[in-house]
Structure 1
Amino acid sequence: MINRKYEDGGVTDVLARGAEIVIEPVGDKRGREAFVDLGRAFSDRLPHFVPQIRAEQIELVDPAKNPFFGHARVQLFIAKQGGKPVGRISAHIDELALAMPAEQGFGPGTGFFGYFDAEDESIARALLAAAEAWLVGQGMHRVLGPISLSIWEEPGLLVKGQDHAPMLLMGHHPAHYAGWIEAAGYARAKTLYTYDLDITKPFPPLVQRIVQSGHKNARITIRKVRKKDWDAEVATILGILNDAWSDNWGFVPFSPAEVAYAGKKLRPLIFEDLNMIAELDGRPVAFMLTWPDINAALAKIRGKLFPFGWITMLRWLRFPKGAGMRVPLMGVLKEFHSSRLASQLAFMMIEEIRVQATSKYSSTRGEIGWILEDNQGMVAIADTIQSKINREYVIYERSLG
């Protein structure tokens, strides 16, 4: 039996057997660094995990640097047992998510947990209880997670696909976390998929015919992203994204500060011939982003830039030969969603990217995702190009009475 005592936003769990578990709120720079380092220590145990750059991870939980904090309330917690760190969790409330319609997944009264790691189930329960207590204290009546921190960063818990390394910005978690979260009273809210694709093979004849038909249409232009006009291109892409995804489950619009931040962060990973904008009569109506998988380089340097890791990274960023390719985002303006044009533009962009990736970068593998389980349009596209589900993530929910 676990007795819970809530104090100052934290929780102390006294177990009938074993040492006391103390959950401490994190509130300063040293605490945030300890929070990140604890997560890195947990992740380092996992087969196929790829260490990320520590400074980048610390920046994501720094209110002074991550613009997510401009519209969010966040509390980080570290669990200790016998004075030793044994787990961590975040509790957060996104004001933009609160403003969304409830039928789209978030809405009024919905908070989140994320950055979830625990040594055992009793510690997991204590951490979840701490996050829930903080959210209730902030007026929330429902919790979703894990989402770390924004829905656009690393949503969901990996429940299938631990047998291979994740690509860039994809979470990697041990399989037993799912059982602990479900045992604490959480149910599946939504499942997200990523799809694996052998890009050395031509697409099926049906797709080839659709692509060829599109190229014969003088109204359609598929062009590369122009880095010399980077700020304008970012605005175009995110404008399409905010329109195309606006009815999707879990959608939260990007704030202007987040647009600028994302543009700056992503620029080094943007290779013009791997990112496409589709125009209809000269008007941008669709886009597809593709990132070479930097995790392959990070694995070599174990996430450490110094003393010599930066050399490996610079070489990779100049020319990522043989890199896997991840398609994290695509969108078509909502006005075209029920038309044949939407899928045609998607096929045209992905075919152009496939050709560039294989011919110029010697790539052999692509990954598309994540994709919502009930996004029928994107699931149909993934099925038509004969890609296969290779990773499954779950976002859980629970009512807070």
Structure 2
Amino acid sequence: MNSASQNEEILGSALQIIKVEDRRTRDIFIRLPWSLYKNDPVWVPPLLVERREHLSPENPYFEHAICSLWLAFRNGNPVGRISAQVDQLHLEHYQDDTGFWGMLEAEDNLETFQKLLNTAESWLCSQGMKRARGPFNLSINQECGLLINGFDTPPSMMMGHVPPYYAQHIEQCGYGKEKDLLAYMIDGDVEPSTIRKMLLRRTQNRIQTRIIRASEMDKDMEIIFSIFNDAWAKNWGFIPFTPHEFTHLVKDLKMLLKKQLVRIAEVDGIPAAFVVLLPNLNEAIYDLNGALFPFGWLKLLWRLKVKCPQTGRILLMGTLSKYQKTLLGAALAYRVIGDMQEAVIKYGIKKVELSWVLENNVGVRDIIKDFGGRQYKTYRIYGKELC
């Protein structure tokens, strides 16, 4: 169906779902949140250039996944959107015939949610999937989960924000909880606890930490890549980063990387754990309305290089699986998080979000709480049996 035919059909129906197949509809898809969140004081408009890149064929996610996008129009006005994805890496890893949906945005209307989700589900069935899971924008290694608690504060970078009615309508469409993902907030100046001091004292001769080396950035990123894929391998829903995905992520975030905020921990001289903390990009772009031109670039560079954001996010963190659930593993976690606390003070960062953490990861949750961390947002992954 060409664009003219689509326009005629849209205008002739109260609610119409169309597939995104050209540049015009893709642009409507990307810009839709602006109309839905115009009165939401804590929503942060994403950078349009980043959203376009995210959905472009250049995203290495599409080297192992296929995706379709749809828009919902009511009386000719865009009121909703959704994506559906089939990830070959997931299918090879789990062999569970599970497909995914995401990028969901919609007006407060059950019919709109029903038609969008039904469209995504039908497409997943046509691809041989027997179960739907979401939201994933687009994979578990990108933004995922639906906000169900913590609506009154702005989202941190690469974390989502939706109004409370989303969860209600998704559940009315037959979806149930599969897993909750937790976000914690930690103050930058919490005093060490007794247990933290004891663990670090007992392991001080075996654990050393260092910042990443500008002269050997690629080598250090390969170390982090290797530790991450090992550390997360047994976690629920895990899909390994491909080498191209990881290098693409590093390239995208390079402007935010500060060597003092990326640490590698070694046990007896062998890399064993890491942490990556980034200044919160959302704090720097909140008033740019998604645009970097003509003056957005200058504002962004000044805010990141001169006036550092006062909030940050621990985006990636991991400990080799052989040390997990051991005292040495706990000491590694205490050490890298503790190092971050010392470093953020230098950059003027006052609060750090640590996200996301699986609800059943009790060990890490206890360590975060020992740092004074408080759970302040909850994101939910939903699932539903299909055809």
Deviation readout 1:8-41 (Å, 9 max, x if unpaired): xxxx9xxxxx953211111223322221011333
Whether the aligned pair in 2 keeps the contact of 1:32 and 1:62 (CA below 8 Å) is no
Structure 1 CA distance for aligned equivalents of residues 127 and 175 of structure 2: 20
Unaligned runs of 5+ in 2: 7-11
Q: Who is 1:259 aligned against?
A: 246
The CA deviation at 1:377 is 2.0
Q: Who is 1:353 aligned against?
A: 340
State the one-letter code of the partner of 2:30: V
Structure 2 CA distance for aligned equivalents of residues 205 and 44 of structure 1: 47
**Is the aligned partner of 1:246 residue 2:233?**
yes
Count of aligned positions: 377
**Is the aligned partner of 1:97 residue 2:86?**
no
The CA deviation at 1:122 is 0.6
Deviation readout 1:143-166 (Å, 9 max, x if unpaired): 001111011111110011110011
State the one-letter code of the partner of 1:69: F
Deviation readout 1:181-212 (Å, 9 max, x if unpaired): 00000000000100111222213232233234
Q: Who is 1:3 aligned against?
A: none
**Is the aligned partner of 1:48 residue 2:42?**
yes
Q: Quick one: which of 15, 29, 49 aligns to 1:35?
A: 29
Q: Who is 2:65 aligned against?
A: 72
Deviation readout 1:127-157 (Å, 9 max, x if unpaired): 0000000000110000001111011111110
The CA deviation at 1:235 is 1.1
Q: Quick one: which of 113, 123, 135 aligns to 2:101?
A: 113
The CA deviation at 1:44 is 3.5
The CA deviation at 1:52 is 1.5
**Is the aligned partner of 1:145 residue 2:134?**
yes
Q: Who is 1:62 aligned against?
A: 56
Whether the aligned pair in 2 keeps the contact of 1:219 and 1:280 (CA below 8 Å) is yes
State the one-letter code of the partner of 1:132: E
Structure 2 CA distance for aligned equivalents of residues 341 and 309 of structure 1: 46
Structure 2 CA distance for aligned equivalents of residues 139 and 45 of structure 1: 40
**Is the aligned partner of 1:400 residue 2:386?**
yes
1:165-204 aligned within 5 A: 165-204=154-193
What's the C-alpha RMSD, in Å, of the aligned pairs?
1.8
Whether the aligned pair in 1 keeps the contact of 2:284 and 2:304 (CA below 8 Å) is no
**Is the aligned partner of 1:21 residue 2:15?**
yes
Structure 2 CA distance for aligned equivalents of residues 202 and 300 of structure 1: 34
Structure 2 CA distance for aligned equivalents of residues 223 and 385 of structure 1: 21
Deviation readout 1:271-311 (Å, 9 max, x if unpaired): 11111100112211110110111111101333321221211
Runs of 4+ in 1 over 4 A off after TM superposition: none
Structure 2 CA distance for aligned equivalents of residues 78 and 142 of structure 1: 22
Q: Quick one: which of 288, 291, 298 aligns to 1:301?
A: 288
Whether the aligned pair in 2 keeps the contact of 1:44 and 1:51 (CA below 8 Å) is no
Secondary structure in 1 matching 2:286: helix
Report percent identity of matched pairs: 37
TM-score by length of 2: 0.93
Structure 1 CA distance for aligned equivalents of residues 309 and 84 of structure 2: 39
Q: Who is 1:339 aligned against?
A: 326
Q: Who is 1:124 aligned against?
A: 113
Whether the aligned pair in 1 keeps the contact of 2:85 and 2:100 (CA below 8 Å) is yes
1:153-164 aligned within 5 A: 153-164=142-153
Structure 2 CA distance for aligned equivalents of residues 279 and 29 of structure 1: 48
**Is the aligned partner of 1:274 residue 2:261?**
yes
Compared CA separation, residues 273 and 172, structure 1 to 2 (3 A):
same
Structure 1 CA distance for aligned equivalents of residues 315 and 337 of structure 2: 12
Q: Who is 2:359 aligned against?
A: 373
State the one-letter code of the partner of 2:352: G
State the one-letter code of the partner of 1:387: G
